[in-house]
Amino acid sequence: MASSDNFFASVDIGTSKIAVLIADEEDGKIEVFGHGVGPSDGVKNALIVDIDKVAKAILKVVEIAYISCNTRIHNVATNICDLHLSTINQDRQIPVNGKKITKEHVIEAIKTASATPTPANKQMLSASINRFTIDQDTIAVEQPIGLEATVLGAQVHVSIVSNQAISNIYQAVEKSGLGLNEIVLDSIASSRACITQDEKDSGVCLLDIGAGVSNISVFMGGGIAYSHVFKMGGNQITQNIVNAFNTSFKEAERLKIEHGYAQLKIAPADKLIQFKQLDSIENRYLSLHNLIEVIESSYLDICRSIKQNLKTKKLDRSLKSGFILTGGASLIEGCEGLFLNTFRIRTKLAKVDIHKITGKDMIVSNPIYTCALGLLMHADNNAYLEVVQAHQHTNFVSKIKSLLEL
């Protein structure tokens, strides 16, 4: 059981699974001491479509986490992955008039840079702070407090999502008996756990291939520059197997997990695989290589969509550190090599920074927990941001309550 009440928790709500982590912080390092994972229900393409089912699924996994450490959780951070996501980068300044920069100046600069009009059916998540600048200097300042300046600039990355997506998350978490501290964009949360500052400086794209959707976040110049969500993921690959071989979704998922490769060239010699076909009581057989061709084609579709999207945004040549892959669908053999061959830039599977977060190897080394780990780390911000976060949280809760009354 936790030695104090100074612990925090995260709930990763995915299309196929829900993960709950409970952690404490000691000597600047987060230590995960409780965990639970279980099947998701009521979620389609990362969107909650049945609030009651999701609430019950969360509650079941919370109980598993409780059994693992004998610790009850009350308030959590959770994730959002919205197909209607839009992002904006904003860089604004406030006057300091030659005085020393205080915490209040920094808070004002963040609020000013974050302010943006949103449509009536959408709202802004907490802004991600990329950098501060002093006067006319374009070089980023990590800690501006105490420096003298005429003006203080703040550059932020603003994520705008649908009211419906936010409201459904809030209601599902509340019905599960938990309080909600913050909702964080899926890929931004994951990035905290597995991307280094050097990679953010040189240019890197984090790709999270989930069951229902795939999402990317591009980092350049030390901060986040762009995020996008694609309506394709592991379930679409499984569905393509269903369509190709006239089998059930469950059987197609088994074929993918037990025999799948993302590239035909690394597959073993061809052989016949037994499987069950729809409307047939007899065992059927398919070619291993034919199965892998369907899987490879599906992953190439994801690659092509991402490549075209990055090219349209003129970001395709800015990724000196290449791609970092995470999410359950990235675990298939050959996925890393497929992206390397397609994009001709370095690609690697995500690894959690064990200098910042520790726990059982089955958690910190498993991509299915990357987002949940990142959510734990999201709260580990500089002290002068606490007032801003409290302000944003108050506004967030008020906005949600007003939406529920409509």
Per the structure, the complete domain to which residue 137 belongs is given by 86-162+382-404
CATH for 276? 3.30.420.40
Asked if residue 25 belongs to a domain, the reply is no
Domain identity same for 156 and 205: no
Residues 114 and 108 sit within 8 Å (Cβ to Cβ): no
152 versus 384: the higher-pLDDT residue is: 152
Of 331, 352, 373, the residue at which a domain comes to its end is 352
CATH for 157? 3.30.1490
Tokens standing for residue 90: 């904003």
Q: Residue 399 has what pLDDT?
A: 54
Domain identity same for 276 and 142: no
Q: pLDDT above 70 covers what percent of the chain?
A: 92
Give the SS3 label for residue 284: strand
Domain identity same for 150 and 269: no
Domain identity same for 239 and 341: yes
Domain identity same for 392 and 249: no
Asked if residue 259 belongs to a domain, the reply is yes
pTM: 0.85
Asked if residue 289 belongs to a domain, the reply is yes
Q: Is the pLDDT of residue 15 over 60?
A: yes
* Domain tally, the chain: 2
Contact residues for 227 (Cβ-Cβ < 8 A; gap 6+): 85, 87, 157, 159, 185, 187, 188, 215, 216, 217, 218
Asked if residue 136 belongs to a domain, the reply is yes
Q: Is the pLDDT of residue 132 over 70?
A: yes
Which of 112, 145, 146, 117 is CA-nearest to residue 129? Answer: 112
Q: Residue 391 has what pLDDT?
A: 45
Asked if residue 304 belongs to a domain, the reply is yes
Q: Residue 140 has what pLDDT?
A: 76
Distances (CA, A) of 21 to 66, 78, 365: 10, 11, 14
Domain identity same for 292 and 331: yes
Q: Residue 400 has what pLDDT?
A: 52
Domain identity same for 297 and 257: yes
Asked if residue 265 belongs to a domain, the reply is yes
Q: Convert the pLDDT of each residue in 166-187 to its tens digit.
A: 999 999 999 999 999 889 998 8
Domain identity same for 387 and 347: no
Asked if residue 128 belongs to a domain, the reply is yes
Q: Is the pLDDT of residue 383 over 50?
A: no
Domain identity same for 146 and 275: no
Q: Convert the pLDDT of each residue in 203-223 to its tens digit.
A: 999 999 999 999 999 999 888
Domain identity same for 155 and 211: no
Residue in the block written with tokens 């006239």: 246
Rounding to the nearest 10 degrees, give the CA dihedral for residues 64, 68, 72, 76.
-70
